[in-house]
Structure 1
């Protein structure tokens, strides 16, 4: 082969290689192409006649948004008129797309719409879906009438809002990392890990508990938890964000080299962000156990963490990290600036009210709604209705005379039996007056809820030792309530994951970082556990506390611990009993008035399965009574065994002290009685003196 021919062949090969597509590069965490989908919440929803629905989604502050797509899957009534029915989408109150739903394919349709990025805002965003659905053509009638029962559009819950984004580089230090660690995209993909050493000490676990409580508070998902596991290469390898809580001597060598030692760690604790470019890791460490715990308490405070803009925070004995739980408010304001509702017919505004789960609404609660509305309504048919947790508690007819300033005062029925968080919904039916059956559209009807609207709320403790009141007694009024956690001496990953599930739920409800949590191995003495509320995680064989109190459990183990036994509530076959997990909440055998929660099974894997029931809000509704059984197939059975449960009832004096209205009345009454007594004494002295003068 000649040299010329070889050169020609090499040139052709080079040209061919240039034209071949380059191999796609592997996407690194945070690179373009990530998409977060928010499905439409709750059950499938419907629009009828002229009505609207709102869906909410979040844009994280560390997202660089590239595109927002609204994916609708719906079915339109077969009677809807294509040319007269319409649906309009608005983002944060700004309309951006309208369409006419078709009756083709039996009304089942799919539609994807790109929303303007400029309408987005950081944090919560609102997508409004306004329907104007008509069943008649209106061609041959002067007065056309629609039947709202026939004019509907059904939105399937497969509809979603998809946000495509790129994660921005970490520039905000510990605060920036914290937001990403608890971010809904990181948590949903299981990319957050809070790690401790394999054989973590009590101090390391206590510090990790406070830290996890703070991060769990920032987790907005109701079906995902932040993972708790020992730190190993296999557990941390694929995680995008890691928090490692450990004594300095227990840190892996490669992490130890990254932690600054400019401060004496026997006198300080350090919270330091390392590995920002590859795998961001927040290291919490010290050589002093009390300082390590203090650093964990700092991370439990969302307020303090939001102020840490640097990559490193040093904690000393003098560092103030205490954050008490906020007082339980008796006066709750619904809106800070006021809320406007526009459009005819039914319009709703919902407010979320947060309460500790162990408190319920007591008597004499009251809602005062201050509002105004348009004057072009049909006042014979327009009204406002207030509901709590979708249960109506009262309505009022709207009138033209009070349109510029109306008030609705309602008592909160104690029979609602509400505990923990609840919602208050204000619904307006804004019916338009008509002329010759043609709606008056000169002015869009509206209603406005003013910032003076408020709720006076009296609450009382729910002290029954029942799983429906969980996380009581382990949290009380937002802080850890003398919690003692008993773990096996030898712990596998399932044990840590079970503990992590429980701590995620406790963290969601924790408000302050000043409570007490202590960890013990299963050889803890009665003196260690006295005057504590106890969570014992483990099996009959590896947790002595569970083994010693087997006779007090509702679901008892066999003598060799190989299965759970039948009882008066449930017949248990031997093989089935070896595969189920249980949650059992009973009075502490170490002190009356305290609680013991046994998270127990024959295997630690079954423990993990049942612990998921009290790990997230999604499954918590399945848990009630004081004894719960769950198997690997997802079957959950809940029972109540105790006939009398809970701490002693509050005294009359303590109840009165919690009621500001009663306390004020009693104070006034005492003052009046005192004044009467003083007046009588003065009159008596005066009368006696006069009698003495006469003598």
Structure 2
């Protein structure tokens, strides 16, 4: 009996484990980001979510968190949820006062499509049977809270060994935003092997522009995540036999003058994939990384093995993607239609390159159409930028089928990197004073060939508000050299790779000038580039060399940072922090240098964290950041301080000038007085 009990226990444990394993799925949550206030009798809001083409969606749901006015009429007030304009759920809004009520709504899988999907929430809210009065009643409200989200459970589709499947294989993340991918390089790596891996790190950032992510960049012998897909880069004589054995004899022979790119099963886990990039000539490794990081070139690599040589052209077309003219369709927007009477609005998000500043001459031009049954004496369209109204246009029946809104951007909206453009249509109808029921009439339409024309000047202000400028410019890495200690662990390289990954969010072209160098290898010519220098004064000589140029300097024995007019250190605190500093390059005035430094290597990760996490990096200000071991952060602005000092000096100069004038006038009056006295004396003597 005891034996049977033991066997049953083991079977239950195994079954439970198998069930748990079977239930493990990838989950992607799309949050609402901000509270959404919905007023009036009829109101609508929506949220987009994206389904990648390599996902098999298991299920999806809307987790709706809302608060409503307790005065709503329970018999008539409702909300309805749509997925891609198909209704999937309705419920009454009861009269109970309940803060942040939670409702879970299943989204039918067959209504979800690849690419962008829209969940729309429509609310009908009344307080009494006097609907017209309710429409303007301030107690008629509903709030969708930012805790709301769309949750998608999915598995990844099986893909082939074609190199063109690279993004579908290696750009997949788990539920904690960690990529299921590790980049591997040899233990005794060269700078060119390292640079090749970092080019692919930048490409990872390009695939996760608006999402948090992290990934591992390891030395070969340190690799432990056997369940990861692998990207391996190395020279033939630096590569283990286990990896070389994945090549055919013909491929090995081609290594003399070529680089081999091969997609295969991982040597660590037969259920995982591995792409290997191997060459004898180091410069070919970089070329291979560039061809893989080019979406345009990658999609044509419909093979599991290929060779490239010195003559292979792997650069993206040297065209300027970021134009001064930004079309809505290039931002991913479809044609926009708004339906219903009275106030209808649409919001368009536009980001400006961090290396540019918007100036005079910028304008918007929206191509619009609208219904002909409007009361044209009262109907108009108004445009807001970052909640600032920039102009309105009266709608007319004569132009209803082909109209435009063309407005110049006022100076109040200059100097932003992000623009929220809101177009509000006031669609008034004859003999209709308020909304009594939902209707699709009237309507207004914005074509996605509408555009914003930006007039730019270069942004030369070195500030973390503008980061990653100037290290990324015109959609590519901008003459950038990253200088690291001669000896770096897998953890060190992972941190550097994630910093490069963050830069890659703004990179669209693969032909930027970029290298990663060991500190002992840097040459005078390299120093004339934009620099990112990482390390301590003891393991990176370049930090010692430029200490006098830093905003926050090390003390004489490099045991800690030195107090100055911006910050005071007490005790050991100065040796237990990391700093990130943006300065004008000491070697080339037209270039910039960013220094990530600390007194001990373990503290460097403090600085690197704030340069790779999108939620943390966007909060940085000034030109110098200090982070301590408890995660406390302090922003400093040395350039602003310098400007204030100059203003004080100028003030002293002005005061000195005024004093000189006063003295001259006093002297003149004194001389005049003396002359007058002399004349009086002479007169009375006579």
TM-score band by shorter chain is 0.7 to 0.9
Residue of structure 2 equivalent to 1:330: 324
Residue of structure 1 equivalent to 2:391: 394
In the alignment, the residues of structure 1 paired with residue 482 and residue 548 of structure 2 have an alpha-carbon distance, to the nearest angstrom, of: 20
Which runs of structure 2 are paired with 1:520-599 in the superposition (5 Å)?
A: 520-524=517-521, 527-599=524-596
Give per-residue Cα distances to partners, 1:4-23, cap 9 Å, x unaligned. xxxxx999999989996862
Residue of structure 1 equivalent to 2:653: none
Residue of structure 1 equivalent to 2:260: 270
Report if the CA contact (8 A) 1:77-1:107 is conserved. Answer: no
Residue of structure 2 equivalent to 1:171: 160
Q: How many residues align?
A: 633
User: Cα distance 1:220–1:621, how it changes in 2: closer, same or farther (>3 A)?
Assistant: closer
Report if the CA contact (8 A) 1:325-1:511 is conserved. Answer: no
In the alignment, the residues of structure 2 paired with residue 36 and residue 15 of structure 1 have an alpha-carbon distance, to the nearest angstrom, of: 35
TM-score, with structure 1 as normaliser: 0.83
Report if the CA contact (8 A) 1:613-1:622 is conserved. Answer: no
Report if the CA contact (8 A) 2:32-2:145 is conserved. Answer: no
Report if the CA contact (8 A) 1:386-1:427 is conserved. Answer: yes
Give per-residue Cα distances to partners, 1:53-79, cap 9 Å, x unaligned. 221212121111122211112112111
Report if the CA contact (8 A) 1:387-1:426 is conserved. Answer: yes
Shift of 1:505: 1.8
Report if the CA contact (8 A) 1:180-1:186 is conserved. Answer: no
User: Cα distance 1:555–1:351, how it changes in 2: closer, same or farther (>3 A)?
Assistant: same
In the alignment, the residues of structure 2 paired with residue 226 and residue 443 of structure 1 have an alpha-carbon distance, to the nearest angstrom, of: 48
Report if the CA contact (8 A) 2:291-2:314 is conserved. Answer: yes
Report if the CA contact (8 A) 1:360-1:462 is conserved. Answer: yes
Residue of structure 2 equivalent to 1:56: 48
Match of 2:474 among 473, 477, 483: 477
Q: Secondary structure at the match of 2:272?
A: coil
Q: Secondary structure at the match of 1:236?
A: coil
2:236 is aligned with 1:248 = yes
Residue of structure 1 equivalent to 2:274: 281
In the alignment, the residues of structure 1 paired with residue 564 and residue 636 of structure 2 have an alpha-carbon distance, to the nearest angstrom, of: 11
Report if the CA contact (8 A) 2:200-2:289 is conserved. Answer: yes
Report if the CA contact (8 A) 2:159-2:168 is conserved. Answer: no
Give per-residue Cα distances to partners, 1:429-486, cap 9 Å, x unaligned. 4455555867376653321012442222222211233333322222221222221221
2:621 is aligned with 1:629 = no
Give per-residue Cα distances to partners, 1:107-159, cap 9 Å, x unaligned. 542211111222211122111112222222x1xx5965334532222222222
User: Cα distance 1:12–1:555, how it changes in 2: closer, same or farther (>3 A)?
Assistant: closer
2:35 is aligned with 1:47 = no
Listed as ranges, the gaps of 5+ residues in structure 2 are 644-686
Shift of 1:583: 1.0
Q: Secondary structure at the match of 1:527?
A: coil
In the alignment, the residues of structure 2 paired with residue 438 and residue 596 of structure 1 have an alpha-carbon distance, to the nearest angstrom, of: 59
TM-score, with structure 2 as normaliser: 0.84
Residue of structure 1 equivalent to 2:312: 319
Give per-residue Cα distances to partners, 1:5-62, cap 9 Å, x unaligned. xxxx999999989996862455899x66414232423222222222222212121211
Match of 2:72 among 66, 80, 86: 80
Residue of structure 2 equivalent to 1:125: 117
User: Cα distance 1:442–1:460, how it changes in 2: closer, same or farther (>3 A)?
Assistant: closer
In the alignment, the residues of structure 2 paired with residue 187 and residue 512 of structure 1 have an alpha-carbon distance, to the nearest angstrom, of: 29
Give per-residue Cα distances to partners, 1:297-355, cap 9 Å, x unaligned. 11221221233233223222232211145323233322376221223444333334454
2:605 is aligned with 1:608 = yes
In the alignment, the residues of structure 2 paired with residue 523 and residue 142 of structure 1 have an alpha-carbon distance, to the nearest angstrom, of: 77
Give per-residue Cα distances to partners, 1:601-642, cap 9 Å, x unaligned. 123332222222222432223223221112233332222223
User: Cα distance 1:498–1:12, how it changes in 2: closer, same or farther (>3 A)?
Assistant: closer
In the alignment, the residues of structure 2 paired with residue 530 and residue 568 of structure 1 have an alpha-carbon distance, to the nearest angstrom, of: 29
Give per-residue Cα distances to partners, 1:513-550, cap 9 Å, x unaligned. 22212233222455243321111100121110001222
In the alignment, the residues of structure 1 paired with residue 238 and residue 177 of structure 2 have an alpha-carbon distance, to the nearest angstrom, of: 30
User: Cα distance 1:619–1:172, how it changes in 2: closer, same or farther (>3 A)?
Assistant: same
Q: What RMSD, in angstroms, separates the aligned Cα atoms of the two structures?
A: 3.2
Match of 1:358 among 334, 355, 360: 355
Shift of 1:401: 4.9
Give per-residue Cα distances to partners, 1:162-202, cap 9 Å, x unaligned. 22222221226223232342235577134232232334211
In the alignment, the residues of structure 2 paired with residue 614 and residue 41 of structure 1 have an alpha-carbon distance, to the nearest angstrom, of: 25
Residue of structure 2 equivalent to 1:671: none
In the alignment, the residues of structure 1 paired with residue 88 and residue 515 of structure 2 have an alpha-carbon distance, to the nearest angstrom, of: 55
User: Cα distance 1:621–1:433, how it changes in 2: closer, same or farther (>3 A)?
Assistant: farther
Which runs of structure 2 are paired with 1:65-144 in the superposition (5 Å)?
A: 65-104=57-96, 106=98, 108-136=100-128, 138=129, 144=133
Report if the CA contact (8 A) 2:28-2:175 is conserved. Answer: no
In the alignment, the residues of structure 1 paired with residue 26 and residue 381 of structure 2 have an alpha-carbon distance, to the nearest angstrom, of: 40
Listed as ranges, the gaps of 5+ residues in structure 1 are 1-8, 647-695
User: Cα distance 1:178–1:632, how it changes in 2: closer, same or farther (>3 A)?
Assistant: same
In the alignment, the residues of structure 1 paired with residue 191 and residue 434 of structure 2 have an alpha-carbon distance, to the nearest angstrom, of: 75
Report if the CA contact (8 A) 2:48-2:117 is conserved. Answer: yes
Shift of 1:584: 1.0
Match of 2:300 among 281, 294, 307: 307
User: Cα distance 1:442–1:268, how it changes in 2: closer, same or farther (>3 A)?
Assistant: closer
2:28 is aligned with 1:37 = yes
In the alignment, the residues of structure 1 paired with residue 596 and residue 12 of structure 2 have an alpha-carbon distance, to the nearest angstrom, of: 59
In the alignment, the residues of structure 1 paired with residue 180 and residue 642 of structure 2 have an alpha-carbon distance, to the nearest angstrom, of: 40
Shift of 1:410: 0.2
